[in-house]
């Protein structure tokens, strides 16, 4: 099983819908989780990070961690066409400081 | 504050040639990471430099190498280029935050095409 798995999509939703993006991970020792957003022809940019379980909210974005299921989610409320991008989950590997990225989910918000 | 910069933005080479990619980290960042983002494979960790030393490398052959200079800028060299080396190469610099966790900031990437 890969350490981090993410559905590549593409995911197409109408403007204004709630978007749910998800990753699963294999190592229960992971405690820190990040979401990056990557626009076409740009490098990834850090969107949100969470530590341990629970929810973290930042504007229209909510990051959720369910450690019992080893499942992390990013919710986007009131989605906008400008949210169209690839979203990557990322988890630091504590043992050697490497960060493992999911493959990314391509999201299209339809106006 | 300037972000991570990379040059060139695009690079076209032929098989067997060598490519050199450059990265300048955010001022004050001492760590530089290199990633390869090939179509369908996601971000693959290549190399990590900190304070001028190679700290870790990913599962790539030795023809992928690099170095970090005293000003913390970095070069990635790819020798004996192969067609499958065509990808977006991303550089990231990092800052260890007060809570001990690391945040990586990415540059725009160099798109390498091997013909």
User: What is the full DSSP assignment across B26-44?
Assistant: PTT--EEEEEEEETTTEEE
Any B CB within 8 A of A88 CB: yes
Q: Does domain A4-110 have CATH number 2.60.40.10?
A: yes
- Domain segments of chain A as ranges: 4-110
On average, the pLDDT of chain A sits at 88
Any B CB within 8 A of A106 CB: no
pLDDT in tens, A12-61: 999 999 999 999 998 888 888 899 998 887 888 889 888 877 889 999 99
- Chain A residues within 8 A of B5 when measuring between CB atoms: none
Sorting pLDDT into bands at 50, 70 and 90, what band is B9? very high
Any B CB within 8 A of A95 CB: no
pLDDT at B98: 53
**Is there a contact between B77 and B23 (Cβ–Cβ < 8 Å)?**
no
pLDDT at A57: 92
- Chain B residues within 8 A of A44 when measuring between CB atoms: 43, 90, 106
Alpha carbon distance A4, A61 (integer Å): 21
Other beta carbons within 10 Å of A65? 22
pLDDT in tens, B15-74: 999 999 999 999 988 889 999 988 777 788 899 898 899 988 888 999 999 999 999 999
- Positive or negative: CA dihedral A105, A109, B4, B7: positive
Cβ–Cβ below 8 Å for B45 and A99:
yes
Alpha carbon distance B63, B36 (integer Å): 14
Sorting pLDDT into bands at 50, 70 and 90, what band is B101? low
Cβ–Cβ below 8 Å for A96 and B90:
no
| Chain Cα centroid distance, residue B8 | 12
Identify the residue among A43, A45, A89, A103 best suited for mutation to test binding to B, counting B beta carbons within 10 A and taking the highest: A43
Report the b/e string of A7-29 with b at 16+ CB within 10 A: eeeeeebeeeeebebbbbbeeee
Burial class, B102, CB count within 10 angstroms (exposed 0-12 / middle 13-18 / buried 19+): middle
pLDDT at A50: 85
Helix or strand run (H / E) with residue B54: strand B53-57
Which tokens go with A58? 């930042």
pLDDT (mean) for A80-100: 82
pLDDT at B61: 96
Q: Does domain B5-102 have CATH number 3.30.110.70?
A: no
Cβ–Cβ below 8 Å for B42 and A97:
no
The C-alpha angle with vertex A45 and arms to B1 and A86, in degrees rounded to 5, equals 155
């Amino acid at each position: 099983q890969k350490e981090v798995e993410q559905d590549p999509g593409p995911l197409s939703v109408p403007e204004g819908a709630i978007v749910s993006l998800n990753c699963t991970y294999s190592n229960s020792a992971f405690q820190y989780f990040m979401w990056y957003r990557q626009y076409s022809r740009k490098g990834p940019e850090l969107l949100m990070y969470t530590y341990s379980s629970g929810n973290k909210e930042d504007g229209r974005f909510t990051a959720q961690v369910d450690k019992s299921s080893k499942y992390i989610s990013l919710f986007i409320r009131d989605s906008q066409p400008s949210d169209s991008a690839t979203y990557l989950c990322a988890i630091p590997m504590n043992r050697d400081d490497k960060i493992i990225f999911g493959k990314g989910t391509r999201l299209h918000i339809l106006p | 504050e300037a972000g991570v910069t990379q040059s060139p933005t695009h690079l076209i080479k032929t098989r067997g040639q060598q490519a050199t990619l450059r990265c300048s980290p955010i001022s004050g960042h001492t760590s530089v990471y290199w990633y390869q983002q090939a179509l369908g494979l996601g971000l693959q960790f290549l190399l990590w430099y900190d304070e001028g030393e190679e700290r870790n490398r990913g599962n790539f052959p030795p023809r992928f190498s690099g170095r970090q200079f005293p000003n913390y800028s970095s070069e990635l060299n790819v020798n004996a280029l192969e067609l499958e080396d065509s990808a977006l190469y991303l550089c990231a610099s990092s800052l260890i935050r007060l809570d001990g966790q690391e945040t990586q900031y990415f540059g725009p990437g160099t798109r390498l095409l091997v013909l």
